[in-house]
Structure 1
Amino acid sequence: MIDGFDLGVPTADLANVVNTVGGWTGVELAWMTDMTAWSMVLVG
């Protein structure tokens, strides 16, 4: 969902946005999944 958006946004700022809209569980899950994917890319 936000794959293209989060590329230019610092992780802390993105986390603040996610926390602000904490009611949007789908967005939060998408962010977590995206960060997990990025971690795999960076580590692997």
Structure 2
Amino acid sequence: EAATSKGDVGKRRIICLVGLGLVVFFFSFLLSIFRSKYHGYPYRAF
């Protein structure tokens, strides 16, 4: 159990990169929403 195969390490790295990409995308999306909020309410996503 302690020794993992290289396939598991690669899969974990891909999942980590995808997760980081989603976090960055979601954070930038929230920032764009809040940046647009200064000019007008009510809340709109797009």
Quick one: higher RCO (CA 8 Å, sep 6+), 1 or 2?
1
Return the TM-score normalized by structure 2.
0.47
Q: Which has the larger radius of gyration?
A: 2
- Scaled by the length of structure 1, the TM-score of the pair is 0.49
